[in-house]
Amino acid sequence: APPHAATLPGAAPLPAAPSYAAPPPASVPPQTVTSPGVATSQVPGELRRPGKLWYAVYTNSRAEKRVHERLLEQGIESFLPLQKTLRQWSDRKKLVERPLISSYVFVKIIQREYFTVRKTEGVVKFIMIQGKPVPIPEEQIDNLRILCGSDAEVEVSTDVYEKGDMVEVTVGSLTGLRGELIRVGRKHKVVIRVIQPGMNLTVDIKTNSIRKIGKNTDI
């Protein structure tokens, strides 16, 4: 036995003291944070898709232009559809720009920009269906741009329409506009669903200015 290990006569050597090692610290998975103190799991699932998508944002009354400007100042891609209308005063007439859809601004964002938009002064909420933000197809944003650049009279409607033919405008300032065809008397209306079922933009158009491109099965 080594000099420092004393043993009694006839006794077996004492076993060495067991070695205790501290257990390694538990592995904690990193948590991705999109905004100070806010975890990714709190971002609505629809906004966790890769790439930028368009969404509709509801604003305070008559705050559309201010919200649009504030979003742009923060680097958010924002689109505010405006339409020129003729206003009559007692002494003059003037063309003014007004929001095409009251209290709506459209943003094209990625996940980490959600809270920037949400916290912008004047923003009330994202437009949702069943608690989820609704992505808006690029084609419908293009339709809004066409409407903004036209002289057509546009009406916001909450009417519920039946399924009909899908048509595309082929002449005039609305060329390229697509929507559902609704027959009203001797007129046709092109119905553009912008946000969700139950909210549409309608515009009167002559029958010789459109062509049929299929059936609407997405209502």
**pLDDT tens digits for range 136-189:** 999 999 999 998 888 777 777 766 666 678 888 888 888 898 888 877 666 667
Tell me the whole-structure pTM to 2 decimals: 0.68
Inside any domain, residue 88: yes
Inside any domain, residue 185: yes
Evaluate whether 167 touches 213 at the Cβ level (below 8 Å).
yes
* Domain residue limits at 78: 38-136
Query: In the beta sheet, which residues pair with residue 133?
Result: 128
Whether residue 91 is found in the same domain as residue 180: no
User: 29-64 burial, b if ≥16 CB within 10 A, otherwise e?
Assistant: eeeeebbeeeeeeebeebbeeeeebbbbbbbeeebb
**Tokens 């100042």 found at:** 73
Whether residue 147 is found in the same domain as residue 76: no
Evaluate whether 141 touches 79 at the Cβ level (below 8 Å).
yes
Whether residue 43 is found in the same domain as residue 124: yes
Whether residue 104 is found in the same domain as residue 189: no
